[in-house]
Structure 1
Amino acid sequence: MFKDYNMNQVVLPMDLSYKLQENDVAFAVNDLVEAIPDEAFSAFLRSTGCPAYHPRMMMKLILCAYTQSTFSGRKIEGLLKDSVRMMWLAQGYEPSYRTINRFRVHPESQELLRHCFVQFRCQLVEEKLIDDEAIFIDGTKVKANANKFTFVWRKSVERYSAGLVEKSNQLYEELLNQDIIPAIERDNLEELSSEELEEVVQKLDDTVKDYDKRIEEAEDTKERKQLRAERKAPKQYRKQFKDFVIRKQKYKQDLAILGERNSYSKTDHDATFMRMKDDYMKNGQLKTGYNLQIATEGQYTLAYDIFPNPTDTLTFIPFLNKIEKWFFSLPSYIVADAGYGSEQNYDDVLNIRQRTPLITYGMYRKEKKKAYKNNAFNVANWYFDQESDTFTCPNDKKLNFKYWSKRTDKAGFERTFKVYECEDCFECPLRPQCTKAKEGNNRKVHYNEKWESQKAFTREVLSEAETGEIYGKRKIDVEPVFGFLKANLHFTRMSVRGKEQVKNEIGFALMAVNLRKYTARQSHQPILGQQNGANYRKAIIDTVFT
């Protein structure tokens, strides 16, 4: 006997949610988006045209598709036809891939994503899944949706631009010396602007036209031949200056796109070339990408942002500003690795934000090794006399304070150093091991008091039991998020171009990671009383008899 199976019988439609498991990720997606206030969707309202799909539904569809590692608009459209969870979330609607892609890159979608992260964090705090004591910050590189070999480098642009200025000035002087064109009014004698180059082209064009007219009017063959020979030089100059105008505008545009960066891609102007770990040629090749910064707690991403610069040091302060402005107030401890350890970052967290930085610095690990501590030529191991303000080198020579020195880095932060100089390094037997200074110059030490005090504070804080334990959670808190994003979710490359669109897509991907992790943890949570079987059975029996 078989169970009844008849393809010709009409089956009444039913609520598709009954087809889903109790802990399906679609329920988590639905609950999260439904918690967003109605006011957040008002920006999508329009008074003309066909009524739009509700933004709640579109948010649910994209988030749910991303949890299934589906990032293409066409594939998301395909899921709407054969995925039960997607059919339930869409409630019978089937938006096209164009509608899905337009909503995904819509400027207002970024605000909805912000509401999702804020609401998700509030939910975690309410359910006591995070203790809100510290946040863990780290960054990773994500490949952009750009071609591989589309480099535009700042140094190349500046070099070619300087060559163009030199060549154009040289040719302009030749034009004046040969009386081909009259002199033009110049604002800057060192460089011809784009407008001035166009004016030179116009004057050369007038000169060529004048020669054309004279050639037509001339009746003598020799005279016409002579005029054609004279016309050859202005025509060549005109061609060169036309090329100068085009190149001048191109270099100006390139520098505007570069901004403060050193490179950009021709196919995605906001992407920067940077070195990535997953190099397919195993030779350290540069790839176009974005620097993704996230703040986590309990392996959940609570805030994120995208930066064009490959180093993490300069992203720290802007990222903290973004967290405070758009996501949540900073907790007591801010934890990060040595890539964020700098004088400016320590100063910002301690003095401006009044928080405790649990951030190591570049030499933190190395300073603990015996080889470093036993190295007599490390300034950190030299004797320092506070009263006389002098260092003593391994050859028992005094290094006296000479003057103050200030340095300004690329970010505009100014650091102050005390410069000490040895009394006499001449004929010192330890000189080759102690210094690389040229003969006749004494050993100098640049000592940054503020930086040294910050390092001492960091060593003291991390040596304490409580704060040391918090810092020890960093690797198991923030690193797994990147692993889950790239290895489990298979999100290794952007599918959109432009910083704002990329920011939207990475927001959907990170929230998808959060929802999958949240759903997995909820499904593995023990049922009430399951830790103690006797108490659980007693509670069930009492309930039944009651």
Structure 2
Amino acid sequence: MRFKHYNQQQTMLLPYSFDDLIPHTHAVRIVDQVVESLNIQPLLKAYSKEGNPGYHPKMLLKVMLYAYMTNIYSSRKIELALRENINFMWLTSMTIVDHNTINRFRSDKLKESFKEIFKQVVLMLASEGLVNLKQIYTDGTKIEAQAGRYTFVWGKSIKTNKAKMLTQLKELWNYAQSIDNEDDPNPEPTEFKEISKEVIEKTVAKIDAKLSGNEKTSSKAKAKLRYIKNNFTSNLEKYEKQEAILGERNSYSKTDTQATFMRMKEDHMLNGQLKPAYNTQISTQNQIIVHYTIHQNPTDTKTLQPHLENLEQTFGKKLFKKIKEITTDAGYGSEENYDYLKQKKLKAFVKYNTFEKEQDQNYQKKHKAFSKENLYYNPEEDYYVCPMGQKMHKTYQNQKTTTTGYTQTLSHYQAKNCEGCSLRGQCFKAQGNRSIERNHNLERHKQQARELLLSEIGIQRRKQRSADVEPVFAQLKHNNGFRRFSLKGLQKVELEFGLMALGHNLRKKIAA
């Protein structure tokens, strides 16, 4: 049998070069060209002039970007690739970097300057005509944190435990009063409104004084007092530390205290469990990520404003003013967001929560006659008209402050006489006369949004949104397998997602 010549010990006069082995159109060459064109002065500020010379930041940045482009996220796997993968060897000129150095560069050196690097690449793509920064499509997804799935702390549990402590303290105080002042018709009053270290110490000292040496004291009461002495102060300190970590959140993970428990669609147990995660927000155009932010709040409604403020801060007011339109789904439709977008002079193709239902003919037939949204309103005289033609005048007006500090103005209207009305059973079920609550500012915003969304351009933007921003998440999470962060902490998580986003943009540049 005949075979082609094969000899591993064959010497070569001129050894192979990496340029011969790597095609000129290969992705690794694009990464090299992009990084070489960047201004890395912000990155150089993270380095000290003293000490031994470090690896060149351009080389490490190229390695990190190409690693995330090829779905290699572990620092140990990146180190292995530097030893075995010719593309990484070409980027580093055969320099071997250990995984600790790679991790320090990713976690520490890049954290202050990466947003500026990301911005430069986006502007480069804009100069090439891939994006124009005139309209953006915004959406969010939840990505699981690198934290223990069952190491949780809940804000409600802390409040419940503190309430139990207060109740136990009050019960023991009442018991001490009862056995010490059986003949006293006016026992010493004590206020138990809120638990604190001072309340515990003061009350325990009084209880101890009443129970010690009293023959009527039961062994159970002595054991309870002993438990309160030994545990209540330390438990309260622990709860206060946990509340400081929680801030305005309702939960966090003990192994990544900045991760919040969120209900996610992708669930490893397939039963909709709450898991520690971060809420990732992106704005895209032509499936290129223009901007990204990471949030601890699971509700998209509360992330839009900080997301756009960060976009303005990153790109500057001049570039931010170029953005004329924003398109989102119904998760962002709130009065506060509509006001903010109007203030920023952005044309908002933003759905509100009942927009899709309103397009359903069955829903319209069911709710058209009696729904408060469809009652006739006279703006000049400020009254509504019920289905029977009765005027519903304003009874009072109140203000409500949301958790974000936004103030809403609510108007209340009520009919004068609904007794004996033939339509009462269909109109409303409550007792008395029918009353409704209306937010006129929100209704104005919803009417404007409705007109925009149902216009020809609005229909086009709604169709484009589902084909622009949502496929980006599918690419990152399903095609690239990025379903869980590798790092812990809000700042490091944001940097890691930024590397993923930049890798995604470079893939789009190569495909263009």
TM-score (ref. length: structure 2): 0.88
Instruction: Compare 7-16 and 372-381 and name the one that shifted more.
Output: 7-16
User: Partner of 1:244 in structure 2?
Assistant: 232
Structure 2 portions without partners, runs of 5+: 181-189
CA-atom RMSD in angstroms:
3.1
Does the Cα contact within 8 Å between 2:392 and 2:415 map onto a contact in 1?
A: yes
1:312 is aligned to 300
Question: What whole-Å deviation, never above 9, does each CA across 1:79-109 have from its counterpart, x for those lacking one?
Answer: 0011111111112221111111122211x41
CA distance in 2, matches of 1:7, 1:204: 90
Cα distance in structure 1, aligned partners of 2:30 and 2:207: 71
Q: What SS class does the counterpart of residue 491 from structure 1 fall into?
A: coil
Work out the CA distance in 2 between the residues paired with 1:342 and 1:109.
35
In structure 2, distance between residues paired with 1:391 and 1:312: 33
Q: 1:190 to 1:54 in 2, by over 3 A?
A: same
Cα contact 1:33–1:116 (8 A) shared by 2: no
Give the counterpart of 2:37 among 31, 35, 38: 35
| Alpha-carbon shift at residue 428 of structure 1 (Å) | 2.0
Task: Extract unaligned runs of 5+ from structure 1.
Answer: 180-186, 212-225, 522-546
What SS class does the counterpart of residue 514 from structure 1 fall into? helix
* C-alpha distance after superposition, 1:368-398 (max 9, x if no partner): 2323433311223333334543322222322
In structure 2, the residue matched to 1:291 is 279
Residue 457 of structure 2 corresponds to residue 504 of structure 1: no
Q: Which stretch has the larger CA shift, 11-20 or 476-485?
A: 11-20
Deviation at 1:233, TM superposition (A): 8.1
Q: Aligned runs of 1:167-178 on 2, under 5 Å?
A: 167-171=168-172
Residue 50 of structure 1 aligns with which residue?
52
Cα separation, 2, equivalents of 1:491 and 1:451? 38
Distance 1:283 1:170 in 2: 41
Match of 1:472 in 2: 463
Structure 2 counterpart of 1:53, one-letter code:
Y
Distance 1:12 1:230, change over 3 A: farther
* Matching residue of 1:337: 329
Corresponding residue for residue 184 of structure 2: none
Give the structure 1 partner of residue 132 of structure 2. 131
In 1, Cα distance between equivalents of 2:131 and 2:428: 51
> Tell me, what secondary structure is at the counterpart of 1:288?
strand
Cα 1:377–1:177 shift into 2, 3 Å: closer
1:442 is the counterpart of 2:433: yes
Per-residue deviation, 1:10: 5.4
Q: Distance in 1 between matches of 2:52 and 2:375?
A: 78
Post-superposition CA distance 1:205-244 (Å, at most 9, x none): 99xxx99xxxxxxxxxxxxxx99x9999878734431211
SS of equivalent to 2:97: coil
**Aligned twin of 1:526:** none
Give the SS at the match of 1:251. Answer: helix
Task: Specify which of 212, 224, 243 is matched with residue 255 of structure 1.
Answer: 243
Alignment correspondent of 1:539: none
Please state how far the C-alpha of 1:472 moved relative to its aligned partner: 2.6
- TM superposition shift of 1:125: 1.2
- Distance, in Å, in 2 between the alignment partners of 1:291 and 1:509 is 15
Q: Is residue 2:488 matched to residue 1:485?
A: no
Cα distance between partner residues in 1 of 2:235 and 2:101? 39
Distance 1:163 1:306 in 2: 36
Compared CA separation, residues 110 and 31, structure 1 to 2 (3 A): farther
Does the 8 A contact of 2:44 with 2:57 survive in 1? no
The AA in structure 2 aligned to 1:87 is: M
Is 2:82 the partner of 1:80? Answer: yes
Is 1:458 matched up with 2:460?
no
Structure 2 partner of 1:515: 506
CA 1:203 to 1:422, structure 2 compared with 1: closer, same or farther past 3 Å? closer
Aligned residue for 1:376? 369
Q: Which amino acid aligns with 1:300?
A: I
Whether 1:193 and 2:196 are equivalent positions in the alignment is: yes
1:48-447 to 2 correspondences below 5 Å: 48-106=50-108, 108-171=109-172, 190-191=193-194, 193-194=196-197, 197=200, 237-327=225-315, 329-330=319-320, 331-350=323-342, 352-374=343-365, 375-438=368-431, 441-447=432-438
1:219 matched residue in structure 2: none
Q: Structure 2: how far apart are the matches of 1:19 and 1:425? A: 85
Could you tell me how far apart the structure 1 residues matched to 2:205 and 2:13 are? 79
Q: Which amino acid aligns with 1:57?
A: M
Q: 1:197 to 1:453 in 2, by over 3 A?
A: closer
Q: Letter of the aligned partner of 1:194 in structure 2?
A: K
Distance 1:201 1:376, change over 3 A: closer
Distance 1:386 1:204 in 2: 64
- After TM superposition, the structure 1 stretch with the greater mean CA deviation from structure 2, 279-288 or 240-249, is 279-288
- Say if 1:44 and 1:55, in contact at 8 Å, map to a contact too: no
CA contact (8 A) 1:373 1:381 kept: no
Task: Work out the CA distance in 2 between the residues paired with 1:174 and 1:52.
Answer: 70
Q: Are the structure 2 counterparts of residues 446 and 239 from structure 1 closer, same or farther at C-alpha, using a change threshold of 3 Å?
A: closer
Q: Aligned partners of 2:357, 2:195: CA distance in 1, in Å? A: 54
Pair 7,200 (structure 1): closer, same or farther in 2 beyond 3 Å: farther
Name the amino acid aligned to 2:148: N
Contact 2:156–2:250, Cα closer than 8 Å, also in 1: yes
Q: Are 2:172 and 2:207, in contact at CA under 8 Å, matched by a contact in 1?
A: no
How far is the alpha carbon of 1:188 from its aligned partner? 8.7
Aligned identity (percent) is 36
